[in-house]
Amino acid sequence: MSNAATIIVVEDEAQIRRFLRTTLASEGYQVVEAETGKQGLAEAATRKPDLIILDLGLPDMDGVEVVRGIRGWSSIPVIILSARSQEGDKISALDAGADDYLVKPFGVGELLARIRVALRHFSAVNGGQEGVFSVGELKVDMIRRKVTVGGAEVHLTPIEYRLLAVLVKHAGKVLTHQLLLKEVWGPNYVERAHYLRIYMGTLRHKLEKDPARPRFLLTEVGVGYRLAVD
Amino acid sequence: MADQRPDPDALLEKVQRAEAIRRRGRLKIFFGASAGVGKTFGMLLAARERRAEGLDVVAGYVETHQRAETEQLLEGLELLPLRAVNYQNATLREFDLDAALKRHPALILVDELAHSNAPGSRHAKRWQDVEELLDAGIDVYTAVNVQHIESLNDIISQITGIPVWETVPDAVIESANEIELIDLPPDELLQRLKEGKVYLPQQAERAAKNFFRKGNLIALRELALRRTADRVDAQMRDYREDHAIQNVWQVKERLLVCIGPGGTAENLVRAAYRLAQLLKAEWIVVYVETAKLQRLSREQRDAILRTLKLAEELGAETATLSGYQLAEELIAYARTRNATRIVLGKPTRPEWKRWLFGSLVDAIIRQAKDIDIHVVGKESDFLSQARENPYFSRSRLYLGLASEEQQTMFKWRVGYLWAVVATAISTGISWVIYDHFDLANLIMVYLLGVVVVAARYGRGPSVLSSFLGVVSFDFFFVPPRFSFAVSDSQYLVTFAVMLLVALVISGMTVSTRHQARVAGHRERRIASLYALSRELAATRGEENILRIAVRHVADVFEVQAAVLLPNETGRIVYPKGEGEPQSCHGSDLSVAQWVYDHGQMAGQGTDTLPGGELVYLPLQASSGMIGVLALLLLNPARIAPPEQQRLLETFVSQIALALERVRLAAEAQRVQLKMETEQLRNTLLSAISHDLRTPLAAIVGASSSLLRDSDRLDDHARRELGQSIYEEAVRMAGLANNLLDMARLEAGAVVLNRQWQPLEEVVGGALAGMSSRMDHHPVSVRLPRDLPLVEIDSLMMERVFANLLENAVKYTPPGTAIEISAATDRDELVVTVSDHGPGIPAGEEERIFEKFHRVAREGSQGGAGLGLTICRAIVQAHGGRMWADNLPSGGAALHFALPLTEPPSIEHEEATHP
């Protein structure tokens, strides 16, 4: 495939690397492998990749440090691979600027979907901006501040709208509770996660058909929220 | 010939004794009739021989008295440095026990076995040092003179006229492995003395002048020879026993020795000891406390306690009986204990009294038809004074008999005062009724006064009031009044009878009162013991046992008590827990350690460290030493009577047994727990091996097929194989997750990250995570719009929902609907996940929460049976509860309830957008 995206895989486990390499190559991506965090950072600086897949359990340095290192000079999408016992590290990495995460073990379908979203999101931010976000029946007109579901306009409070706007701005990306609280309510509200949950609840009741099984406003349990992009 | 074979029990005993001896060091005593016969010399000669044989010999303490030939022998032997002890501005040089134990030679020489150690030493007597050396497995050579043997002490004092303070218990001499008699004829000894070869310490010089008389020396030599011969005789008997020479029937003799308050008691005990030795009999020394004996002076009671203590030291069992009739009580006791002989002192009463009132000896001889009676003669007088030696005054102090005197004096004076007052009152009453009643009735009033005084103040005051009554009656009422003169001589008879009646009444009243008091004491002792054992029996936990033990001991004996227990390495340490009285701060751990190691009591009033402030008692249970009970005596009189001491011993053994019981129970629990853990591990292993192997087999098979035959397989087949690999791997991942969760929950490693959130979001998260597996099971979620926020860990709670949904999918056929609903119920949020499948088998509603429990064993359903266990653990960690039942319409319903608390407030905005 021409114009193939370059993906750097930073992972110390040879078997996982092999599996990622085979799968991604067969999908037409250029794959660059790195075994350590330092090697990963060096590759990221020289290869100008389109996406980085980063394992949190690296032998030489903390995965969170790697994310900070990359975010120091670039906004390349970063997808984290974590084990179940690394909840805290995962959230730290997301707070540090990682875009998405996958918990091991994960399937290929899931992986490819995340990669697609991340690459699209990246191009959307850098590419054309019509000012209207739409997914399924939901349409958010950022310029006219108008929200419709299936053509019917939905009335939102200012905070509800602000919350939705932040999600739209980072559509497809996992946003941690902390980040959302800071963006919508301000730095003083970082500890009041229940605000976010209550407003997310009302927002869902206004936008979703079945709030218990959301279609747009997805819950990343214990981490935060994500706005679906397809 | 069967009879000639040695009795197996006797043989076993012999072997055990031999073993105990092997572990202990061997004791050899160089035994002589008097100073100067050459004991030290003989000992050194023997020691040199041992050393020449290559044995590690050390001279611990050798008294050469600067005799040249003896000092010469000492040359070349390793000398243990002596310990300097400062005592009353003088420096005493003492044998250093600790250094000896540390040096631990094969053989040590310790001269002068009867020596009393300087105050402040560990043991009061040197023979105790030697005992400890032997216990440590060190052989000891020592020397002692015949006059220092406890049981011969009185005889020798009588012979020589010189009291001997320093004595060695007979048991120590008897326990010696070897006794070598160092014999020197009196003439030669006197010759040596004349030649100046026997140097004596200066303080003994004057006494020695009287001592070294030929008559004395002959007598002492005879005693020493006889004593040695007795021992040889005993050895001979042992030999005969070993070799089954049993020509005589052995009848177990038991002596019952009755002591009284007289000065002969000690003599009696020593005589009885010798008799018991001779007969190889057990012996019991009893003191019968009758009403009359209760009135003894303090000195006399002291003497009785001393005698009982002496008897115990000589190896007797002692008992104090109380009763009204001495002879009857004694005979009854003798019969219950199967005594074969009764030993009594010679009556000391004047002949006329004996004729008039009879004597104990006569009464016993009359009543004890089948028991032999031994009557022992009176000793010479001087011993009575000799007995006021420091050792006894110490035990007097220990028994606390000095402190009560003032109080008694006070009570005594008050009693006599009341005797006078009571007589005055009787006279007053008689005065009032004189005109209306006969004189005989006035006598009754006086007798009443006597009874009152007798009941309250005892014998002395009541006797006084009897006399005063007669005198007042005469003076005030008998004509001519207000004079002691008596007009009618028949009144003299009245006076005599009145006095006699008053005296008898007072005597009887006093006796009754005493009986009541004795009964009361006994009652209290039994009650206190009962209270202790009842509380101990009802108690669990070592801490509680200790608390109860300390409290009871403190109450009953007026002491401050502390139980000191060893740590894991067997070292006694201060208790860690609070609630122990402060007294343990005064306790000396090294003494407690000694008590713990040796199983003997120590401290104040005992033989070991008698100078200490506290008493330390070993807590010994059937399995061995448990710890040490330390007592600070606040009122020593409380444990003075032998009965109280026995009660204390019973307390101690009760406490030790209770502690042992608790420990055994704890041990049993540990074993039980270990077994359960073991069983759990086995279940886990079998569950995991099954649940891991099945998917692994599928994965290995399918993937190898894909690798090998990929060319020959069509697309459909490849998809099938890939699908099965994927599904089995997901199943394994789920199992691994559950095992991890379980392990973390059980280890208590889970810290809940609780946040206020709507239940809806958690349910949504779980449904999203399960979506791929819920294709064939429609799920309906019914959550009221107004459900309050709950403070939960969303990740954990998602696991609960995920597990419940997975179970519902697993146990119901495809197409079965699943419902999730929630409602508030008072202060709880009750969540229910139900299905319409076959439901939970009856009786399994609780068991399904057990670890590794599966409704259908080895069924097609995967999982290790951990799901519900994890769910319940998570819900309980949130302070909630979880249960299961079946819907009336069929199908299983799993419920859990979470406590509801007030959620945090939130500022609402009103304006709408746009």
CATH 3.40.50.620 positions along chain B are: 254-378
Quick check: B386 pLDDT over 60?
Answer: no
What distance in Å separates the CA atoms of residue B757 and residue B793, rounded to the nearest whole number?
Answer: 9
Site from A221, A223, A225 to mutate, B interface, most B CB atoms within 10 angstroms: A221
Given an 8 Å threshold on Cβ–Cβ distance, is B765 in contact with A219? yes
What distance in Å separates the CA atoms of residue B711 and residue A96, rounded to the nearest whole number?
Answer: 47
Site from B725, B737, B761, B820 to mutate, A interface, most A CB atoms within 10 angstroms: B761
Place of tokens 């402030």: B613
| Predicted confidence band of residue A206 (pLDDT cuts 50, 70, 90) | very high
Among partner residues A85, A161, A192, which is closest to B913 by beta-carbon distance?
A161
Instruction: Supply the pLDDT for residue B823.
Output: 92
Among partner residues A84, A158, A192, which is closest to B909 by beta-carbon distance?
A158
Three-state DSSP class for B827? coil
| Beta carbon pairs, A and B, within 8 Å | 85
**Which amino acid makes up residue B83?**
R
Given an 8 Å threshold on Cβ–Cβ distance, is A156 in contact with B755? no
| Predicted confidence band of residue B583 (pLDDT cuts 50, 70, 90) | very low
Judged by a CB distance cut-off of 8 A, whether residue B726 touches chain A is yes
Quick check: B16 pLDDT over 80?
Answer: no
Among partner residues B733, B764, B798, which is closest to A214 by beta-carbon distance?
B764
Instruction: Supply the pLDDT for residue B135.
Output: 87
Sign of CA dihedral A190, A195, A197, A200: negative
Number of helical H runs and strand E runs in chain A: 8, 12
pLDDT tens sequence across B559-577: 888 888 888 887 887 766 5
Site from A219, A223, A226 to mutate, B interface, most B CB atoms within 10 angstroms: A219
Quick check: A225 pLDDT over 90?
Answer: yes
> Taking residues A123-132, what's their average pLDDT?
56
pLDDT tens sequence across B52-88: 888 889 998 888 777 777 888 888 888 888 888 877 7
- Residue A222, min C-alpha distance to chain B (Å): 5
Given an 8 Å threshold on Cβ–Cβ distance, is A194 in contact with B911? no
**Residue B409, token pair as written in the block:** 């004096």
Given an 8 Å threshold on Cβ–Cβ distance, is A201 in contact with B758? yes
Given an 8 Å threshold on Cβ–Cβ distance, is B783 in contact with A198? no
Q: What domains sit in chain A, N to C, each tagged with a CATH number? A: 6-126 (3.40.50.2300), 129-227 (1.10.10.10)
Name the more confident of B326 and B833. Answer: B833
pLDDT tens sequence across B747-794: 776 778 888 888 988 998 888 888 877 888 899 999 888 888 899 998
- What percent of chain B has a predicted confidence (pLDDT) above 90? 7
Q: What is the DSSP letter of B116?
A: B
pLDDT tens sequence across B387-443: 333 333 333 333 333 334 444 556 667 888 888 999 999 999 998 988 888 888 888
Could you write out the three-class secondary structure of B343-380?
A: EEECCCCCHHHHHHHCCHHHHHHHHCCCCEEEEECCCC
Which ranges of B710-789 does DSSP label H, i.e. alpha helix? Answer: 715-746, 759-770
Instruction: Supply the pLDDT for residue B861.
Output: 52
Instruction: Supply the pLDDT for residue B166.
Output: 83
| Predicted confidence band of residue A103 (pLDDT cuts 50, 70, 90) | confident
Instruction: Supply the pLDDT for residue B12.
Output: 66
Alpha carbon B48 to chain centroid, angstroms: 45
Q: What is the DSSP letter of B444?
A: H
Judged by a CB distance cut-off of 8 A, whether residue B436 touches chain A is no
Number of helical H runs and strand E runs in chain B: 29, 25
The length of chain A, given as a count of residues? 230
- Residue B770, min C-alpha distance to chain A (Å): 12
Given an 8 Å threshold on Cβ–Cβ distance, is B758 in contact with A197? yes
Name the more confident of B614 and B725. Answer: B725
Q: What torsion do the CA atoms of B458, B463, B469, B475 make, to the nearest 10 degrees?
A: -150
Alpha carbon B233 to chain centroid, angstroms: 39
pLDDT tens sequence across B811-868: 888 888 999 999 998 889 999 999 988 888 888 888 888 877 766 544 445 555 778 8
Say which CATH class B17-243 falls into. Answer: alpha beta
Residue in B with minimal Cα distance to A223: B795
Q: Going by DSSP bridges, is the β-strand pair A78-82/A51-55 parallel, antiparallel, or unpaired? A: parallel
Name the β-bridge partners of B565: B573
Given an 8 Å threshold on Cβ–Cβ distance, is B761 in contact with A200? yes
| Number of neighbouring beta carbons within 10 Å of residue B302 | 19
Instruction: Supply the pLDDT for residue A74.
Output: 87
Which range, B196-210, B539-553, B562-576, has the best average confidence (pLDDT)? B539-553
Mean pLDDT for chain A overall: 87
Contacts of B755 in chain A (CB under 8 A): 193-194, 197
**Residue B295, token pair as written in the block:** 């009135």
- Residue B737, min C-alpha distance to chain A (Å): 8
Given an 8 Å threshold on Cβ–Cβ distance, is B755 in contact with A105? no
| Cβ-Cβ contacts under 8 Å for A96 (sequence gap 6 or more) | A64, A67, A68, A71
Residue in A with minimal Cα distance to B761: A212
CATH 3.30.450.40 positions along chain B are: 542-748
Task: Name every residue in A having a CB less than 8 A away from some CB of B.
Answer: 84-85, 87, 105, 107, 145-146, 155-161, 192-195, 197-198, 200-201, 204-205, 210-214, 218-222
Given an 8 Å threshold on Cβ–Cβ distance, is A222 in contact with B767? no
Contacts of A214 in chain B (CB under 8 A): 764
Given an 8 Å threshold on Cβ–Cβ distance, is A221 in contact with B912? no
| Predicted confidence band of residue A207 (pLDDT cuts 50, 70, 90) | very high
Q: Which of A44-58, A216-230, B11-25, B328-342 comes out lowest in average pLDDT? A: B11-25
Residue in B with minimal Cα distance to A146: B914
What distance in Å separates the CA atoms of residue B37 and residue B184, rounded to the nearest whole number?
Answer: 6
Given an 8 Å threshold on Cβ–Cβ distance, is A194 in contact with B904? yes
| Contact predicate B77/B47, CB 8 Å | yes
Q: Going by DSSP bridges, is the β-strand pair A30-34/A6-10 parallel, antiparallel, or unpaired? A: parallel
pLDDT tens sequence across A26-46: 888 999 999 999 999 999 999
pLDDT tens sequence across B241-300: 565 544 333 346 788 888 877 667 788 888 888 888 877 778 888 887 766 665 666 677
Instruction: Supply the pLDDT for residue B199.
Output: 59
Contacts of A220 in chain B (CB under 8 A): 765
Residue in B with minimal Cα distance to A107: B726
Mean pLDDT for chain B overall: 79
Residue in B with minimal Cα distance to A156: B913
The phi and psi torsions of B912 (rounded to 5 degrees) equal: -105, 160
- Residue B630, min C-alpha distance to chain A (Å): 54
CATH 3.40.50.300 positions along chain B are: 17-243
> Taking residues B591-603, what's their average pLDDT?
83
Instruction: Supply the pLDDT for residue A156.
Output: 92
> Taking residues B121-134, what's their average pLDDT?
88
CATH of domain B750-899: 3.30.565.10
Given an 8 Å threshold on Cβ–Cβ distance, is B764 in contact with A212? yes
Given an 8 Å threshold on Cβ–Cβ distance, is B760 in contact with A192? no
Among partner residues B729, B763, B906, which is closest to A212 by beta-carbon distance?
B763
Give me the long-range contacts of B766-772 (CB less than 8 A, separation at least 24): B766/A221, B766/B798, B766/B801, B766/B802, B766/B805, B767/A212, B767/A213, B767/B801, B767/B805, B768/A213, B768/A218, B768/A219, B769/A221, B769/B798, B769/B802, B770/B802, B770/B805, B770/B806, B770/B809
| Contact predicate B662/B542, CB 8 Å | yes
Give me the long-range contacts of A206-210 (CB less than 8 A, separation at least 24): A206/A154, A206/A155, A206/A156, A206/A160, A207/A138, A207/A147, A207/A149, A207/A154, A210/B781
Q: Which of B108, B103, B117 is nearest to B47 (CA)?
A: B108
- Residue A217, min C-alpha distance to chain B (Å): 11
Instruction: Supply the pLDDT for residue B911.
Output: 46
Given an 8 Å threshold on Cβ–Cβ distance, is B737 in contact with A218? no
Quick check: A127 pLDDT over 60?
Answer: no
CATH 3.30.565.10 positions along chain B are: 750-899
Topology of domain B254-378 in CATH is Rossmann fold (3.40.50)
Name the more confident of A43 and B580. Answer: A43
Which range, B158-162, B241-245, B895-899, has the best average confidence (pLDDT)? B895-899
Quick check: A10 pLDDT over 90?
Answer: yes
What distance in Å separates the CA atoms of residue B631 and residue B617, rounded to the nearest whole number?
Answer: 8
- Which residues of chain B from 781 to 840 reach within 8 Å of chain A, CB to CB? 781, 783, 785, 789, 793-795, 798
Quick check: B382 pLDDT over 50?
Answer: no
Instruction: Supply the pLDDT for residue A188.
Output: 86
| Predicted confidence band of residue B8 (pLDDT cuts 50, 70, 90) | low
Q: Which of A2-16, A191-205, B382-396 comes out lowest in average pLDDT? A: B382-396
- Residue B745, min C-alpha distance to chain A (Å): 13
Contacts of A158 in chain B (CB under 8 A): 909, 911, 913
> Taking residues B7-29, what's their average pLDDT?
71
Q: Which of B879, B894, B878, B902 is nearest to B821 (CA)?
A: B894
| Cβ-Cβ contacts under 8 Å for B216 (sequence gap 6 or more) | B34, B159, B160
Pick the CATH number of B542-748 from 3.30.450.40, 1.10.10.10, 1.10.1280.10, 1.10.3720.10: 3.30.450.40
- Please measure the distance between the N-terminal and C-terminal CA atoms of chain A and give it in whole angstroms: 24
The phi and psi torsions of B688 (rounded to 5 degrees) equal: -70, -40
Residue in B with minimal Cα distance to A210: B781
- Residue A41, min C-alpha distance to chain B (Å): 31
Quick check: B235 pLDDT over 80?
Answer: no
**Residue B515, token pair as written in the block:** 């009986």
Instruction: Supply the pLDDT for residue B14.
Output: 67
Which ranges of A146-192 does DSSP label H, i.e. alpha helix? Answer: 158-169, 177-184
